[in-house]
Amino acid sequence: SQQGEEDPQALSIQEGENATMNCSYKTSINNLQWYRQNSGRGLVHLILIRSNEREKHSGRLRVTLDTSKKSSSLLITASRAADTASYFCATDGNQGGKLIFGQGTELSVKP
Amino acid sequence: NAGVMQNPRHLVRRRGQEARLRCSPMKGHSHVYWYRQLPEEGLKFMVYLQKENIIDESGMPKERFSAEFPKEGPSILRIQQVVRGDSAAYFCASSWASGTDTQYFGPGTRLTVL
């Protein structure tokens, strides 16, 4: 079964607004990673948060992790049209090596 | 420092032919992972390799698919006797260490089976 489940599946906002995407997972993890994928392209790594961390920032990105609820959120502040992409969370499932991806959130930022 | 390289970027094969996908990890990375992405879906893990060793192949179909990462040269994902259902984007990722380390992805190879 899916380890990571993103919510919502699709999100449409105006430029300048904030976008929040959520990810839930089922088993214990060592870390959780967020990736961005533009249509027809490869994945770009955004941020990695370890199981002993609760929050992490990188530029306009803020990631939180709640291991008690087995959930994470990705916040993109002051969104831009260039942020339009699919966003995936991926966990290691405490298995080492392989990543288990969710179905992704498709973000559309309208200028 | 070049990123993960994959070639070819696009590959067209007829049913029954062989597909050979190549991946060169980032410099200094000795861990390679292959994932498959079907249209409108997330990525599914296939196999994890270190130099000359298959560490985890739990996501590989039992038949027709094989992977290697030789001491010298790129990692190869090989699909024999391709079928239409093999049409997908195949992504390779590499990391410096295993398990808890960040995986960096290549641009993918888009395989189309006619």
pLDDT (tens digit per residue) in A98-110:
899 988 999 999 9
b/e code B75-104 from CB counts within 10 Å (16+ = b): bbbebeebeeebbbbbbbbbbeebebbebb
How far B94 CA sits from the closest chain A CA (Å)?
10
Between A73 and A2, the higher pLDDT residue: A73
Three-state DSSP class for residue B86: helix
Across the interface, do B106 and A45 touch by the CB < 8 Å criterion?
no
d(CA A26, CA B56): 21
- What confidence score (pLDDT) does residue A51 get? 92
Across the interface, do B104 and A100 touch by the CB < 8 Å criterion?
no
b/e code A41-68 from CB counts within 10 Å (16+ = b): ebbeebbbbebeeeeeeeeebbbbbeee
Pick among B54, B100, B104, B111 to test the A interface (most A CBs inside 10 A): B100
Name the amino acid, one letter, at B85: G
Chain B: residue whose CA lies nearest to A90: B43
Across the interface, do B102 and A45 touch by the CB < 8 Å criterion?
yes
Between B14 and A42, the higher pLDDT residue: B14
Nearest CB partner across the interface for A101, out of B43, B100, B107: B43
Residue A1's pLDDT band (cuts 50, 70, 90)? very low
Nearest CB partner across the interface for B56, out of A31, A98, A104: A98
**How would you write the pLDDT of chain B (114 residues) with one tens digit per residue?**
579 999 999 999 999 999 999 999 999 898 999 999 988 778 999 999 998 899 999 999 999 999 999 988 999 999 999 999 999 999 999 998 766 688 999 999 999 999
